[in-house]
Amino acid sequence: MTNVREASGLDRELYDFADVDHTLGLTHGTAKRWINGYDRRGTAYLPVIREQTLAPTRLVTWGEFVEVFYLARFRDEGIPLRRLRRILMSVRERTGVHYLFGHDKTSLRSSGAMKEIILSVQESEDFPTFLVKRTGQGMLLWEGAEERLSKIEFRRGVAVGLQPRLELPNIFVRGEEFFGKPKIKGTGISPMALAGPVFSGTPKGQVAESYGVGVGAVNQAGIFEFGSRWQTAA
């Protein structure tokens, strides 16, 4: 098949699987299973994000990171991603686009044609309508699609940044800056730079003043880095 693989930065290799899990708040091992497939009790499960399994040392691209971020919504709904593999592969085949959610022109938000393709694939393969559904008023976006898409920043039609955790708006990543590492939005400050000193005993207000950010940003950095342990430190 012919895929759109533009010189857009989507193919830039940035992350290992553990980086993806931590940044997106996924359970350890989730990114590897979704992106590169896995074996369980002698049964091989094909990857959802990649078309085929690659060497385990192969880094995750920015485009793959964006795909995982978007498709994580299905995990929130309790829908196994492996059930969507045929749909995603068929849509890639029909559109010629490899990173479906890394390109704004093919996103569910902006392309009626994309919705129609997904609907036809789902109906022809007897899948439930996970992404979109038909109503008396036309097409209705699958629940949660707009929320995730709204957290992706597009430039010239290509994803360049996103808010990795919906509940932490101060944390942002850009594929073309800081090697894709998370930063406090609008700064070059890493979450650990704020959270680490507080976790070691420095008052939050003092850290916030030192870095010129609000205490809210410090709190979000702490939750991002330490999760439930942050409440103890704070």
Domains in the chain: boundaries:
13-160, 189-233
Average pLDDT over residues 144-156: 81
Rounded to 5 degrees, φ, ψ at 214 are -80, 160
Angle at 177 between CA 205 and CA 53, to 5 degrees: 115
Going by C-alpha positions, the residue among 162, 179, 213, 150 that lies closest to residue 221 is 213
Contact 122, 114 (CB under 8 A): no
Cα torsion angle, 117, 141, 149, 77, sign: negative
Residue 16 or 94, more confident: 16
Calculate mean pLDDT across residues 50-60.
92
Report pTM. 0.85
Decide: 48 and 82 in contact? Cβ < 8 Å. Answer: yes
Q: Of the segments 6-20, 95-109, 151-165, which one has the largest average pLDDT value?
A: 151-165
pLDDT at 1 over 80: no
Q: What is the mean pLDDT of residues 148-174?
A: 93
Alpha helix segments (H runs only) across 5-49: 17-24, 30-36
The whole-number pLDDT of residue 3 equals 43
